Amino acid sequence: MLAITCPGQGAQKSGFLSSFLELDAFSAQIDELSTASGIDLRLHGTESDDETIKDTALAQPLLVASAITCVAELGITPNYVAGHSVGEIAAAQIAGILSPADAMRFVAVRGAGMAAAAAATPTGMSAVVGGEPDDVLAALEAAGVSPANINGSGQTVAAGSLDGLNTLAENPPERARVIPLPVAGAFHTDYMAPATAELTATASGLEVSDPTVSILTNSDGTVVTEGRDYLERLVKQVTNPVRWDLCQETLLNAGITGMIELVPGGTLTGIARRAMKGVETFAIKSAADLDGAREFAAAHA
């Protein structure tokens, strides 16, 4: 049983698309998705530095386009698909809920709206690694920040005001480290509420199909069987926490034996190696990994 996973914001790295753009079909589709999103994905995937692509309005479309194009290049169909945060939009396209162009229109609005919301108030996110779950949640509450991502295997991402995150760093939970993340705002909290109105309007105008692949939602880790339901959940997830721990639990219970993380891979497979014992993982980081990913998929699908 094979799962494909799509990474979220923070996974992007300067130049990570360079090797893939040497592939004709990949290159052509990136240009098509650039047109759909109104963003020069080729430029930002090859030449822009890390600080530039930290911008939410650029990072989100870049990550979604990369995942969509990567799975098209692979030419494989998984048993399950799931995305982390903005990766859910790529997952929706892979599962057949949205067309590639509509996925890019949706993520462009999401990224721009969340960037504007982040600019309105200085906020951020920090990873809390280690510690007992109850101690971690208590420390977050004491600092006045929220658990935006509960990733499992001892990793929770806190989000909130910069003052609150500084307080958390100065008073970390016992046996835990607090690591600032390269993101521009407190995603998956009420700070992002201004982004939801336009996103709701955009979603209502998209053509939506029911999924052809089992797709998980970040809201509670369950399989969603109706496309419109999934799209509505995507809008709500802008202000709701990501329960990646529950997505992993569902995959384990389903009997998944292998998990591929699409480009830029490494984050979700790293979590899975700790939280999903017995499941083999494969992270796609460059075009040189594609043949290995196909072999991996053949062994597990």
Cα angle: 285, vertex 64, 229; to 5 degrees: 130
Residue 72 φ then ψ, to 5°? -65, -40
Mean pLDDT of 153-161: 95
Q: At what angle do helices 100-120 and 56-74 cross, to 10 degrees?
A: 160
Average pLDDT of the chain is: 97
Query: Which residues 6+ apart lie within 8 Å of 141 measured at CB?
Result: none
Q: Count each helix (H run) and each strand (E run) in the chain, helices first.
A: 12, 10
| Contact status, residue 186 vs residue 56, Cβ threshold 8 Å | no
- Check pLDDT > 90 for residue 279: yes
With bands split at pLDDT 50, 70 and 90, how would you rate the model's confidence at 153?
confident
| Contact status, residue 45 vs residue 66, Cβ threshold 8 Å | yes
Q: What is the pLDDT of residue 184?
A: 83
Which of 34, 66, 85, 161 is flagged as catalytic?
A: 85
Residue-wise pLDDT for 234-276, tens only, equals 999 999 999 999 999 999 999 999 999 999 999 999 999 999 9
CATH, range 2-119+189-300: 3.40.366.10
Express as a percent the part of the chain with pLDDT over 70. Answer: 100
Q: Alpha-carbon Rg of the chain, whole angstroms?
A: 18
Asked if 2-119+189-300 and 121-180 have one fold, the answer is no
Residue 85 to residue 89: CA distance in whole angstroms: 8
Residues across the chain: 301
- Check pLDDT > 90 for residue 105: yes
> Is the peptide bond prior to 264 cis by the omega test (within 30 degrees of 0)?
yes
Residue 56 to residue 47: CA distance in whole angstroms: 17
Q: What is the pLDDT of residue 273?
A: 95
| Contact status, residue 211 vs residue 227, Cβ threshold 8 Å | yes
Residue 73 to residue 269: CA distance in whole angstroms: 20
Which of 44, 84, 188, 300 is flagged as catalytic?
A: 188
CA nearest neighbour of 2 among 259, 252, 247, 268: 259
Structure tokens at 263: 């480009």
Residue-wise pLDDT for 17-39, tens only, equals 999 999 999 999 999 999 999 99
Q: What is the pLDDT of residue 206?
A: 98
CA nearest neighbour of 89 among 51, 62, 125, 126: 62
The number of angstroms, rounded, from the C-alpha of 103 to the middle of its chain's C-alpha atoms is 14
Domain ranges of the chain: 2-119+189-300, 121-180
Q: Which CATH architecture has domain 121-180?
A: 2-Layer Sandwich (3.30)
Is 188 part of the annotated catalytic residue set? yes
Mean pLDDT of 154-162: 96
Mean pLDDT of 108-132: 96
Residue 64 to residue 30: CA distance in whole angstroms: 11
Is 85 part of the annotated catalytic residue set? yes
**What is the three-class DSSP state of 176?**
strand
| Contact status, residue 125 vs residue 179, Cβ threshold 8 Å | no
